Amino acid sequence: MSIVRHLQGRVALVTGGGGEIGAATAAHLAAMGAAVVVIAADIADPAAVHRLFSTAWAEFGQLDILVNNAGVGVFGPLTALTDEDFERAVAVNLRGVFLACRQAAPRLADGGRVITLSSSATALTLPGYGLYSATKAAVEVLSRTLAHELGGRGITVNAVAPGPIDTAAFRHGKTAEQIDRLRKMSPLGRLGTPTDVAGAVGLLCQPGAGWITGQTIRVNGGQA
């Protein structure tokens, strides 16, 4: 079934487009008609993020959608994590979103969209996920606040919080039993896919989603 090209003439920037979820999201937005910008950049570096947005603006002179997808998984009991683990998680998952939003805000067209990837792990308090979930909870608060700051221009800001998504990064270090247990947590009886997440992002980018803002949309197959 063909995808309706609701985003024809729009420009979208997707951070972390080299990962499986980012690539699926970029492809989905492109199929919806958007011109999609995916450029390699250290999202935790203010100068690199400035160059990223400046390059995109120089090329297109327009920005309608920002998808903050770049992130890093840092897991383990809090007592076992190092200072370096903490700095890495906060730098990418929180500072990176802050920097991208700061660069995007003055460039976004009225009626634009900001979508940030969070995680359904924030609602589960899983052992070993404390630091990761804390950074994701922080960007949910940032998103809700930014929704109020940009709402006067018709710009919506939301977070998408996936559950277990079947990617190489998700499967790394997990046993078959652990993966099966997570699969069974969903009433649908399966893991999510990158295209499931991309579809949710696409829905929030459609013109008809202009009344949805300041929300966290859990894309987890009913897991929690």
Residue with tokens 């079947």: 166
Give the integer Cα–Cα distance in Å for 114 and 60: 18
Give the integer Cα–Cα distance in Å for 65 and 160: 14
Catalytic residue (one of 122, 132, 161, 213): 132
Diameter over CA atoms, the chain: 50
Catalytic annotation present for 129: no
Q: Which residues of 169-196 are buried (b: 16+ CB within 10 A; e: fewer)?
A: ebeeeeeeeeeeebbebbeeeebbbbbb
**CA 204 distance to own-chain centroid:** 12
Residue with tokens 């390699």: 40
**Taking the chain, what is the end-to-end CA distance rounded to the nearest angstrom?**
30
Torsion, Cα of 34, 157, 18, 37 (10° steps): 40
Active site residues: 132
